[in-house]
Structure 1
Amino acid sequence: MLKRFFPFLSWMTTYNRSHLYGDLIAGVTVGVMLVPQGMAYAMIAGMPPIYGLYAALVPQVVYALTGTSRQLGVGPVAMDSLLVAAGVGALQLTGIESYIATVLFLTLLIGSIQLLLGLLKMGFFVNFLSKPVISGFTSAAAILIGLGQLKHILGTDVAQSSKIHVLVGNIFESLGQINPYALALGVVAIIFILGMNKISKKIPTPLLVIILGILAVFFFGLESKGIGVVGEIPSGLPSFQVPEIQMDRLGQLLPIAITVALFGFMESISIAKTVEEKHPEYELDANQELRALGMSNIAASFFQSFSVSGSFSRTAVNDQFGAKTGMALIFSALLIAGTLLFLTPLFHNLPTAALGAIIIVSVFGLIDLTYPIMLWKNRKDEFLLLAATFLMTLSIGLIEGILLGVLLSLMLLVYRISNPHIAVLGRIKGTDYFKNVSRFPEEVQVDDDKLIIRFDAQLYFGNKDYFKKELYKQIQKKGPTLKYVILNAEAINYIDSSAAVMLERIVNDLKEKGIQFIITGAIGPTRDIFHNSGLIDCIGRQNLFVQTFEAVDYCTNQKGRSEIQERISLQSKTKSL
């Protein structure tokens, strides 16, 4: 039980030197990545850069002790930072102190929601974020992040917005104030990062950009030429501090917190599952992952950090450099602690144009063109869902975009299950196989006195009328020669009370018309419903068959069922025969 909530107890007891080397190298490498990334992502969140280092400290340690993934790199990420900025920025707070206090309280809310969902075993909630919605949102958010960082590259003061038309308008208005030194530095930094990435992605290019940027500002006096720098960064570890509880803003912050909590979990679990496939020595627990992220964010709020989740790039590096356990994250946190204690004065001359270049290159890698092209070719409905989410996120706002995207995906799901696939079946000549007549027009044999139909979904109030309409349409096509309607129920796993009443009416109506209604292939849960609802008496026990060919043979030759066929076709938990 204890290992379930503290998974580190599982790997700590078998920890050895072979694990130590890989964890140490991976931890140091990820820690080096986190220094520039943390500061850059803090800027996206609208926080001072030091808070990005705070977010890379305590949350890593908490997740290392409570998470079930042994390679997931937890810490500040671009997408969560942008969601936080969009949500808190909309509150129009006055002063940086008020903004920071609200972000810390929001982080506490996010962690509490994740922890609560984990304790309630609600990890399946992430399934409501479909891939088209995520892809459309991520691409739109990447564009907004990238455009939002242009102010650092241009050296201008651009008012931020989560609506692309407003943001682009603000950028154009500021073009007359471009600082050529900042522009040159930013462009050179972007080209340098792209070039180094082509040579080798193992090189800590963002750290090199930061070092070179600091040296350039120092030796060439670029600060005096109007290039923005990070400025003074306080040294020392973050102190324990209870977040300011802002009950008056709870109603405004709760939708943001729920969105970030679910999106952060989705991001983390998808990354963790990808890495888990390479490591059969452990197994992910989605509910414990929720609890681990929740505890990490709750701890983060008490140590002056904004929300954290899993990072794809740092997880990939962590795994690539040999991380075997959560100790890699602890080593990474120790490196961040050393940076906070001894190295923060070195970042005074760090140009914000360099951080902007790092962010732009990083987030534009999140724009996925391959997936929407594939959807356009094969799944037009999902492509439209992706495109709608993308456009809504760009034009309406981040929070609104993803929530409306989820709503659209649920509406698409409802539409599909309300209009499921229905197939008219025919017998493949010379066999006992029954297949869709539209797929095998030359091979199937169709009897004029029999209608065999397969309904590929559960029967419930939302599709019962569709089922009835399609059934009677096929009955009408058959004409007066029809004597038997055979429903293949293999794909029907549930029948609700509304659909049961509808079936009873259909059976009685067909009886009056001299048509016998027969069901084949009903699975156990469906047979239970037949017995519980009384449908079995309406349909008739003699009209249930195990397989379609048995029902057809009965109709053609009046061949009765064997004892085993009768027993299987009528078996139910409520009444075993």
Structure 2
Amino acid sequence: MSILKNIIPAFDWLSTYNKKDLSGDISAGLIVAVMLIPQSMAYAMLAGLPPVIGLYSSTIPLLIYALFGSSRQLAVGPVAMVSLLVFTGVSTLAEPGSQAFISYTLLLSLMVGVIQLAMGLFRLGSLVNFLSHAVISGFTSAAAIIIGLSQLKHLLGVDLEKGQNVFLLLWDAIQKMSKTHPITFIIGLLSMILLLVFKRILPRFPGPLLVVALATFTVYFFGLNQSGVKIVGEIPSGVPSFSLPGFSMESIGTLLPIALTISFVGFMESIAVAKAIASREKYKINSNQELNALGLANIVGSFFSSYPVTGGFSRSAVNYQAGARTGLASIITVAIIIVTLLFFTPLFYYLPKAVLAAIVMVAVFGLIDIQEAIHLFRVKSTDGWTLLTTFFATLTLGIEKGILFGVALSLLLFILRSAKPHTAELGYVEEQNIYRNIQRFPEAQTFPQTLILRVDASMYFANMSFLEEIIRKKLEEKPDTKQVILDFSGVNDIDAVALDILQELMDNYKQAGIDFRIAAMKGPVRDLAERAGWKEKFGKNIAYPTVKQALEILH
């Protein structure tokens, strides 16, 4: 049974289910379903898909995640960011809304699932840590603007420039402002105002569904669709049937970059909100199990007409606040959406597309985080500039290239930082009986013939030339130096190349009459040094437990 619980976490909460949690799960399941029905249709339209695909994507994938996910409150389904990425990747292959477009999207969902499942099985959940928070924040804010502005065509009722360049889109919108369809614009604007009011005053109230109902009734009663207001039209009734996504090596190769992007972006969005809720509820999230669950949800969903899904910020927050205690809440959500698909899809026939656009715009503009940029600039300007650079790169280059730029920038900054590790000259602070950085503690006592340096990073081939230069400059500043003590208390790892370079450095300076001693070398580093033959070559000179003991031998 314990093995089954590890594979299918639902067995854990099902076997110990507390009846006291039932009312919360039912309430949350109902509220999320009411929220998800209009939202999923809106996001499907954003992805270039028929609205019913959004409803399909809110059934089987949610059920699979409820069984395999390690989060008890995460609400999985269509989200804005992934929807725009789907549109970006698939629209290069087929016309949005066409049967070919749908076929490619289902294949993309399968690919995303396979990638996420593979990452989970090979325990690669930690890979997302290489994307800095600054990059994620900049990318998310820019993507929110792109997503919001992409809905202008539905809000204004005019065809606008295709593509993700927001500047061209805005210029096209300004030029065509005179062609705006007044009734469509009024419906969209009033919908946005109502949604914002509900979001601020009654966040738990199903505002989107009420707005959808009011707008649909208004269009039907006044026949506004005859006056040029674009409506959703007929939505097929019934649950999604089993079907195989179309396969071709050419389309797989074309979709691979966007599949990788969705896999990472979707997982990051999901794991962030899952961990935030789990920390409040005092339980652990298994990132690799989350990848397994999302992967299986997308794989199985692709066989039932689902496009890629992930955990959503707003829905998960609502699910949690509404009282969800276990995955049963998501199962209840699925049941309600299936009932809707079976019996109530005709009610959405007169739903204006401007309302779905308003739902998307109100949802995503909350992701624009100005406060985070201010905070990063105040704490560390480098991170602030990283956020802004990623933000403008995403706005100008587009979603897919923007995230790739952010990944490259994260890795570049990581390499640059590790290539120039912090190195401090130490002196003795008598009051504290400890050795401190003399730049921060000017009163620290230094020694005329001894240089004490502390390296605060792992040592590898790329940062050794920097360390060599630091040592050379320090010795030039102290020409009477006879001994150098290296404090390795901050060195957690060292590679073979760094060991060879450091050994050569110590040998060369020894010929110049300067001896090296190493203090506070950690066990794993000491093991590597011994395998390199340092114990026989340098003996006690590399084995001092503390800087103080290394210094006592000399003074």
Q: Give the TM-score band, short-chain normalised.
A: over 0.9
Equivalent pairs counted in the alignment come to 553
Query: What is the one-letter code of the residue matched to 2:440?
Result: R
Between the two proteins, what is the percent identity of the paired residues?
44
The one-character-per-residue Cα deviations of 1:288-326 (angstroms, maximum 9, x if unpaired) are 110100000011111101100001111111111111111
Point out the more displaced range, 215-224 or 46-55.
Answer: 215-224
**Do structure 1's residue 73 and structure 2's residue 80 form an aligned pair?**
no
**C-alpha displacement of 1:540:** 3.0
Kindly report which structure 2 residues correspond to 1:200-279, keeping only aligned pairs within 5 A, or say none: 200-279=202-281
Are the structure 2 counterparts of residues 206 and 33 from structure 1 closer, same or farther at C-alpha, using a change threshold of 3 Å?
A: same
Query: What is the one-letter code of the residue matched to 1:290?
Result: L
Query: What is the one-letter code of the residue matched to 2:101?
Result: Y
Query: What is the alpha-carbon distance in structure 2 between the residues aligned to residue 95 and residue 140 of structure 1?
Result: 25
Query: What is the one-letter code of the residue matched to 2:148?
Result: G
**C-alpha displacement of 1:91:** 2.8
The one-character-per-residue Cα deviations of 1:519-575 (angstroms, maximum 9, x if unpaired) are 11100011112211012333332453111111122211xxxxxxxxxxxxxxxxxxx
**C-alpha displacement of 1:227:** 0.7
**Do structure 1's residue 462 and structure 2's residue 462 form an aligned pair?**
yes
State the partner residue of 1:561.
none
Contiguous gaps of at least 5 residues in structure 2: none
The one-character-per-residue Cα deviations of 1:375-421 (angstroms, maximum 9, x if unpaired) are 11221211222111111111112111101110111000000000010
Query: What is the one-letter code of the residue matched to 1:10?
Result: D
Indicate if the aligned counterparts of 2:428 and 2:435 stay in contact, CA closer than 8 A: yes
Query: What is the alpha-carbon distance in structure 2 between the residues aligned to residue 129 and residue 238 of structure 1?
Result: 36
State the partner residue of 1:559.
none
**Do structure 1's residue 492 and structure 2's residue 494 form an aligned pair?**
no
The one-character-per-residue Cα deviations of 1:477-517 (angstroms, maximum 9, x if unpaired) are 101x2121010001112221211111112211222222221
SS at match of 1:15: coil
Indicate if the aligned counterparts of 2:48 and 2:96 stay in contact, CA closer than 8 A: no
Point out the more displaced range, 191-200 or 146-155.
Answer: 191-200
State the partner residue of 1:419.
420
Query: What is the one-letter code of the residue matched to 1:554?
Result: I
Point out the more displaced range, 345-354 or 494-503.
Answer: 494-503
Query: What is the alpha-carbon distance in structure 1 between the residues aligned to residue 30 and residue 262 of structure 2?
Result: 28
Query: What is the alpha-carbon distance in structure 2 between the residues aligned to residue 386 and residue 94 of structure 1?
Result: 32
State the partner residue of 1:406.
407
SS at match of 1:80: helix
**Aligned to 2:31, which of 9, 29, 32?**
29
State the partner residue of 1:472.
472
Query: Could you state the TM-score of these two structures normalised by the residue count of structure 1?
Result: 0.94
Indicate if the aligned counterparts of 2:87 and 2:96 stay in contact, CA closer than 8 A: no
State the partner residue of 1:344.
345
**C-alpha displacement of 1:438:** 0.3
Query: What is the alpha-carbon distance in structure 2 between the residues aligned to residue 391 and residue 95 of structure 1?
Result: 30
Query: What is the alpha-carbon distance in structure 2 between the residues aligned to residue 156 and residue 542 of structure 1?
Result: 77
Q: Runs (4+) of structure 1 moved beyond 6 Å?
A: none
**C-alpha displacement of 1:203:** 1.3
SS at match of 1:444: coil
Kindly report which structure 2 residues correspond to 1:63-462, keeping only aligned pairs within 5 A, or say none: 63-93=65-95, 96-280=98-282, 282-441=283-442, 443-462=443-462
Query: Could you state the TM-score of these two structures normalised by the residue count of structure 2?
Result: 0.97
Query: What is the alpha-carbon distance in structure 2 between the residues aligned to residue 333 and residue 197 of structure 1?
Result: 24
Query: What is the alpha-carbon distance in structure 1 between the residues aligned to residue 171 and residue 233 of structure 2?
Result: 29
Indicate if the aligned counterparts of 1:507 and 1:539 stay in contact, CA closer than 8 A: no
SS at match of 1:277: helix
Query: What is the one-letter code of the residue matched to 1:449?
Result: Q
Give the root-mean-square deviation of aligned CA atoms. 1.3
Query: What is the one-letter code of the residue matched to 1:83?
Result: L
State the partner residue of 2:482.
483
SS at match of 1:203: coil
Query: What is the alpha-carbon distance in structure 2 between the residues aligned to residue 29 and residue 320 of structure 1?
Result: 10
Query: What is the alpha-carbon distance in structure 2 between the residues aligned to residue 98 and residue 254 of structure 1?
Result: 17
Query: What is the alpha-carbon distance in structure 2 between the residues aligned to residue 90 and residue 376 of structure 1?
Result: 38
**Do structure 1's residue 512 and structure 2's residue 503 form an aligned pair?**
no
State the partner residue of 1:525.
524
Query: What is the alpha-carbon distance in structure 1 between the residues aligned to residue 157 and residue 165 of structure 2?
Result: 21
Query: What is the alpha-carbon distance in structure 2 between the residues aligned to residue 34 and residue 478 of structure 1?
Result: 69
Are the structure 2 counterparts of residues 392 and 543 from structure 1 closer, same or farther at C-alpha, using a change threshold of 3 Å?
A: closer
Point out the more displaced range, 375-384 or 319-328.
Answer: 375-384
**C-alpha displacement of 1:95:** 6.7
**C-alpha displacement of 1:363:** 0.6
Query: What is the one-letter code of the residue matched to 1:141?
Result: A
Indicate if the aligned counterparts of 2:521 and 2:542 stay in contact, CA closer than 8 A: no
SS at match of 1:278: helix
Indicate if the aligned counterparts of 1:504 and 1:538 stay in contact, CA closer than 8 A: no
Indicate if the aligned counterparts of 1:460 and 1:499 stay in contact, CA closer than 8 A: yes
Query: What is the one-letter code of the residue matched to 1:86?
Result: T
**C-alpha displacement of 1:6:** 0.6
Kindly report which structure 2 residues correspond to 1:533-552, keeping only aligned pairs within 5 A, or say none: 533-552=532-551
Indicate if the aligned counterparts of 2:48 and 2:97 stay in contact, CA closer than 8 A: no
Indicate if the aligned counterparts of 1:507 and 1:538 stay in contact, CA closer than 8 A: no
The one-character-per-residue Cα deviations of 1:104-162 (angstroms, maximum 9, x if unpaired) are 10000000111111111111111122211111111111111111111111111224311
Indicate if the aligned counterparts of 1:105 and 1:246 stay in contact, CA closer than 8 A: no
